[in-house]
Amino acid sequence: MNKTLVKGLLFDKDGTLFDFQTTWGAWAAAFIDELTGHDASLRPRLADAMHFDANAKIFHPSSPMIALSNRECAEVVSGALPGSSVDDIEQRMIASASNAPLAQATPLAPFLDTMTAQGIALGVMTNDAEAVAHAHLGSAGVADRFVFIAGSDSGYGAKPDPAPLLAFATVTKLDPAHVAMVGDSTHDMMAGQAAGMQTIGVLTGPADEAELSPFADVVLPDIGHIAAWLTA
């Protein structure tokens, strides 16, 4: 595909707009403590289920928490906590995640304004909850830059299903071939491929270049390099 024809950019949120480990490592450590009450036996069990290194406060690349929907993540957590309710865990996760300490992958406002000035339509599709996405983008002061913000609970489905990506193309009236899906996981890249979109991988999530390259048209250090790639 010809990258000069990019008319829309659809971004994943965590690991793409926001650095994954910096944002979610600190959050996960606190959330595990909250759920387990610092129980010496439950804490390591929950960390193991999440594939989370509680000492380093980082997720392993194999973590199921990286690309799953909120509901699926709640099921993982609930499975490690005897007697817990998936519904309760999901609601507590959404409430807690809304206040996660955000680390922007690059200064978002100037980057997004540069893209908009070039006539590029912008959207966000995350497997997180839509309410959390709005909370995070609002906190970063950039929610108004996007014409489309969707989560796994928005009614379009979740990645790697291409349906939510195609919803963005419908809203913006763009041919999917003129849209680039930008993300940090193979789920993002596979969804983009299935939707007939261009795919831009970024290294601000747990996946490395070797993991993303088979599914991406290009792998960049972070989204701040997209402008140069578009004009190269």
Domain ranges in the chain are: 3-19+104-231, 21-97
How does the average pLDDT of the chain come out, rounded? 94
Cα–chain center distance at 182: 10
Question: What number is the average pLDDT over the span 71-76?
Answer: 93
209 close to 228: Cβ distance less than 8 angstroms: no
Domain 3-19+104-231, CATH among 3.40.50.1000, 3.30.470.20, 3.40.50.300, 1.10.101.10: 3.40.50.1000
Measure the CA–CA gap between 215 and 15, rounded to whole angstroms: 17
Q: What percent of the chain has pLDDT above 70?
A: 98
User: For residue 110, what are its two tokens?
Assistant: 């100037």
Measure the CA–CA gap between 32 and 176, rounded to whole angstroms: 40
Question: What number is the average pLDDT over the span 185-202?
Answer: 97
Per-residue pLDDT for 90 more than 60?
yes
Handedness of CA 14, 17, 20, 22 (dihedral sign): negative
188 close to 162: Cβ distance less than 8 angstroms: no
Name the more confident of 225 and 26: 225
Q: At a CB cut-off of 8 Å and minimum separation 6, what does 67 contact? A: 127, 159, 185, 186, 187, 188
State residue 40's pLDDT score: 83
State residue 196's pLDDT score: 97
Per-residue pLDDT for 92 more than 60?
yes
- Dump pLDDT digits (tens) for 94-146: 999 888 889 999 999 999 999 999 999 999 999 999 999 999 999 999 999 99
Bridge partners, residue 149, by sequence:
124
Per-residue pLDDT for 65 more than 60?
yes
Measure the CA–CA gap between 29 and 166, rounded to whole angstroms: 35
What are the C-alpha distances in Å from 192 to residues 41, 199, 205, 213?
Answer: 41, 6, 17, 13
Per-residue pLDDT for 29 more than 60?
yes
